[in-house]
Homo-oligomer: A and B are copies of this chain.
Amino acid sequence: MSMRVVDVERVRGLPLFCGVSEETFGAVTAGAFLQKFPAGTTLLHEGDPVDFLYVLLDGLVELEGTWNDKETTLAVLRPVSTFIFAAVALDADALMSARTVERSDILMLSGEALRRAMQTDPRFSYAATLELAGCYRGLVRSLKNQKLRGGAERLANYLITQRVRQGGAETFTLPHEKRLLASLLGMTPENLSRAFATLTGYGVVINGPEVTIARPVVLERLAKPDPLIDNHHPPASRLWARPSGKCGPPAARASRRTGPGCECPRPVRGPAHGRWPCPSGPGRSAPPTDAKPPPRPSAGRAG
Contacting B at CB under 8 A, from A88-127, are 89-93, 95-96, 99, 107, 112, 115-116, 118-123, 125-126
Q: Mark A184-208, 1 if CB is under 8 A from B, else 0.
A: 0010000000000000000000000
Question: Which chain B residue has the least Cβ–Cβ distance from A135?
Answer: B136
Contact present for B228 and A65 (CB under 8 Å): yes
Cβ of A68 within 8 Å of any chain B Cβ, yes or no, is: yes
Cβ of A30 within 8 Å of any chain B Cβ, yes or no, is: yes
| Bound-state Cα–Cα, A129 to B301, Å | 27
| Bound-state Cα–Cα, A122 to B126, Å | 8
Chain A contact-residue range equals 35 or more
Question: Pick the contact of A224 from B67, B107, B254 — CB < 8 Å?
Answer: B67
Question: Pick the contact of A125 from B46, B126, B289 — CB < 8 Å?
Answer: B126
CB distance from A214 to the nearest CB of B (A): 24
Query: Which residues in B have their C-beta under 8 angstroms from that of A115?
Result: 254
Query: Which residues in B have their C-beta under 8 angstroms from that of A256?
Result: 91, 112
Q: 5 smallest A-B Cβ distances: which pairs? A: A29-B303, A40-B288, A3-B302, A122-B122, A86-B133
Cβ of A161 within 8 Å of any chain B Cβ, yes or no, is: no
Given contacts A87-B137, A140-B139, contact A291 B42 (CB under 8 A): yes
Copies in the complex: 2
Question: Which chain B residue has the least Cβ–Cβ distance from A2?
Answer: B300
Cβ of A272 within 8 Å of any chain B Cβ, yes or no, is: no
Contact present for A90 and B263 (CB under 8 Å): yes
Question: Which chain B residue has the least Cβ–Cβ distance from A119?
Answer: B126
Question: Which chain B residue has the least Cβ–Cβ distance from A255?
Answer: B91
Cβ of A1 within 8 Å of any chain B Cβ, yes or no, is: yes
CB distance from A5 to the nearest CB of B (A): 10
Beyond the given pairs A29-B302, A30-B302, A129-B132, 5 more chain A to chain B contacts, judged by CB atoms under 8 angstroms and listed by A's residue number, are A35-B297, A37-B294, A39-B289, A74-B140, A136-B136
Query: Which residues in B have their C-beta under 8 angstroms from that of A33?
Result: 296-297, 299
CB distance from A6 to the nearest CB of B (A): 12
Contact present for B228 and A47 (CB under 8 Å): yes
Contacting B at CB under 8 A, from A269-296, are 275, 280-281, 283-285, 287-291, 293-294, 296
CB distance from A148 to the nearest CB of B (A): 4
Query: Which residues in B have their C-beta under 8 angstroms from that of A30?
Result: 301-303
In this complex, which of A143, A299, A303 has the most chain B Cβ atoms within 10 angstroms of its Cβ? A303
Question: Pick the contact of A69 from B49, B93, B146, B283 — CB < 8 Å?
Answer: B283
Cβ of A141 within 8 Å of any chain B Cβ, yes or no, is: yes
Query: Which residues in B have their C-beta under 8 angstroms from that of A144?
Result: 65, 67, 72, 74, 95-96
CB distance from A257 to the nearest CB of B (A): 6
| Bound-state Cα–Cα, A249 to B7, Å | 37
Contacting B at CB under 8 A, from A12-47, are 25-26, 28-35, 37-43, 46-47
| Bound-state Cα–Cα, A11 to B224, Å | 40
Q: Mark A231-261, 1 if CB is under 8 A from B, else 0.
A: 0000000000000000000100010110001
